[in-house]
């Protein structure tokens, strides 16, 4: 198969054949219905993504508890909201039964808003530290949310262990907790690995993935050598991820940085190819560590008109299995269909930062350039 067909042709992802190698990444829209349920904004956005023909659609972060929300209108998966999610999945699958629709599950941790209950897993005391019993409860909440997601018809669940949220914070070398959730790599990976194993057990064929920040750019953060480390040293993360892969992770979605602290790592700036190439390198690194675990690469939205060429080259070279697009999926939810049939009509993300500013200010998120909240043309 030549490179021009590689990106938009059907591909095997675990045991499923998906329409292409393009994934719409989880993009928080801060637009849930009252109580954290699915509302009109979700039907609009995910209806458009279904019609757009993405191979994989990862739903925006959904909290496993209403007590810890990063967004004032954040989504919550619980017994009260599950019927709305079921309707959403049904409407998505009615349009596109072949794509994978995966829910991203999260606990906001220290990034819970003032309207919520922030907890830290480790590090400074800017938020109360959650106890080991509390983390046991968080694990159970993830398991219950995965069970509900499976009953709603989702194809899998992705654990948000990136960008400084609770599960990702625990992975850091800085985590010197004296209980079962800190210290050694196995302990630091315990919550994530346990949640992965629990999710895989809810239903045969239910996928359990994880999104991680391979390097955060923080002292003692993920991708450093120890509690005082700042420079990139990925050896520790390799050991941590080996525990997670060993728990049965069906894929690893590779990101970088903490948007609230090191946003240039997470979202490379326009024209900054250096940071974009770091994302490609991070995906390649994880792919080389675990050749049997599919890898979703990030930051392709930064590539603009060159993004497809970057993705084709990286996938062809086995640096990644799937190309992930976040902001581009907001700018044009029909990107895959247009890329295959009418590339000249694609609305490319301009990297203006408008969507990020809306999220930071606790406003409903939309593409400010093309003035769409999830729909499009």
Cβ-based neighbour number of residue 24 at 10 Å: 30
3-state secondary structure of 294: coil
Structural domain contains residue 332:
yes
The two structure tokens encoding residue 3: 């490179």
pLDDT at 377: 41
> Could you give the angle at which helices 307-316 and 273-289 cross, rounded to 10 degrees?
20
Within 13 Å and on the Cβ side, how many CA atoms surround 58? 30
pLDDT value of position 269: 74
Residue 366 domain flag: no
Quick check: is 374 in a domain? Answer: no
Residue 344 sits in which domain range? Answer: 3-360
Tokens of 198: 């629990």
* Other beta carbons within 10 Å of 194: 20
CA–CA separation, 171 vs 190, rounded Å? Answer: 9
Question: Is there a domain that residue 289 lies in?
Answer: yes
**Contact assessment for residue 294 and residue 14, using Cβ atoms and an 8 Å cutoff:** yes
Strand partners, 13: 16
Predicted local distance difference test score (pLDDT) of residue 355: 95
CB contact at 8 A, 263 and 257: yes
Distances (CA, A) of 100 to 23, 97, 361: 9, 8, 31
Report yes or no on 230 lying in a domain. yes
Does residue 194 lie within any of the structural domains? yes
How far apart, in whole angstroms, are the C-alpha atoms of residue 86 and residue 335?
26
What does pLDDT average to in each consecutive run of 10 residues of the chain (377 residues)? Answer: 74 96 97 96 98 98 96 97 98 98 97 90 90 98 98 98 98 97 98 98 97 97 96 98 98 96 86 82 98 97 94 97 98 97 96 94 95 50
Separation CA 28–CA 92 (nearest Å): 18
Instruction: Give the pLDDT score at 4.
Output: 52
Whether 370 is in a domain gets the answer no
Distances (CA, A) of 239 to 22, 49, 172, 234, 281: 28, 35, 12, 9, 18
Number of domains in the chain: 1
Helical ranges in the chain per DSSP H: 3-6, 40-52, 82-95, 132-152, 166-170, 185-188, 190-200, 235-246, 263-266, 273-289, 307-316, 327-331, 335-341, 354-360
157, β-bridge pairs: 103, 208
| Full-model pTM | 0.96
CATH of the domain at 177: 3.20.20.70
The span from the first CA to the last CA of the chain, in angstroms, equals 31
Inside any domain, residue 355: yes
Handedness of CA 278, 213, 199, 55 (dihedral sign): negative
- Burial category of 361 from C-beta neighbours within 10 Å (exposed 0-12, middle 13-18, buried 19 and up): exposed
Taken in order 301, 305, 310, 311, the sign of the CA dihedral is positive
């Amino acid at each position: 198969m030549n490179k021009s067909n590689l990106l938009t042709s059907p591909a095997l992802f675990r045991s499923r054949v998906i329409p292409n190698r393009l994934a719409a990444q989880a993009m928080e829209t801060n637009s849930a219905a009252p109580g954290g349920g699915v509302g009109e904004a979700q039907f609009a956005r995910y209806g458009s993504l279904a019609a757009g023909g993405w191979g994989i659609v990862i739903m925006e972060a959904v909290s496993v508890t209403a007590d810890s929300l990063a967004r004032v209108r954040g989504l919550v998966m619980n017994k009260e909201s599950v019927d709305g999610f079921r309707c959403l999945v049904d409407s998505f699958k009615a349009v596109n039964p072949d794509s994978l629709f995966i829910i991203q599950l999260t606990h906001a941790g220290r990034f819970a808003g003032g309207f919520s209950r922030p907890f830290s897993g480790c590090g400074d005391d800017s938020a109360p530290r959650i106890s080991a019993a509390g983390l046991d409860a968080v694990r159970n909440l993830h398991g219950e949310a995965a069970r509900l997601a499976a009953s709603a018809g989702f194809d899998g669940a992705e654990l948000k262990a990136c960008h400084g949220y609770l599960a990702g914070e625990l992975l850091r070398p800085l985590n010197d907790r004296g209980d079962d959730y800190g210290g050694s790599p196995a302990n630091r990976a315990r919550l994530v690995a346990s949640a992965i194993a629990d999710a895989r057990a809810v239903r045969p064929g239910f996928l359990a993935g994880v999104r991680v920040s391979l390097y955060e750019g923080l002292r003692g953060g993920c991708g450093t050598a120890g509690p005082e480390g700042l420079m990139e040293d990925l050896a520790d993360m390799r050991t941590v991820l080996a525990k997670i892969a060993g728990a049965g992770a069906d894929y690893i979605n590779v990101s970088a940085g903490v948007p609230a602290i090191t946003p240039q790592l997470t979202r490379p700036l326009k024209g900054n190819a250096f940071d974009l190439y770091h994302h490609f390198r991070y995906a390649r690194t994880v792919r080389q560590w675990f050749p049997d675990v599919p890898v979703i690469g990030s930051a392709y939205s930064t590539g603009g008109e060159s993004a497809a060429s970057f993705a084709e080259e990286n996938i062809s070279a086995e640096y990644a299995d799937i190309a992930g697009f976040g902001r581009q999926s907001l700018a044009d939810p029909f990107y895959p269909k247009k890329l295959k049939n009418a590339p000249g009509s694609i609305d490319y993300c301009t990297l203006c930062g408008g969507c990020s500013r809306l999220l930071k200010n606790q406003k409903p998120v939309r593409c400010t350039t093309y003035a769409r909240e999830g729909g499009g043309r």
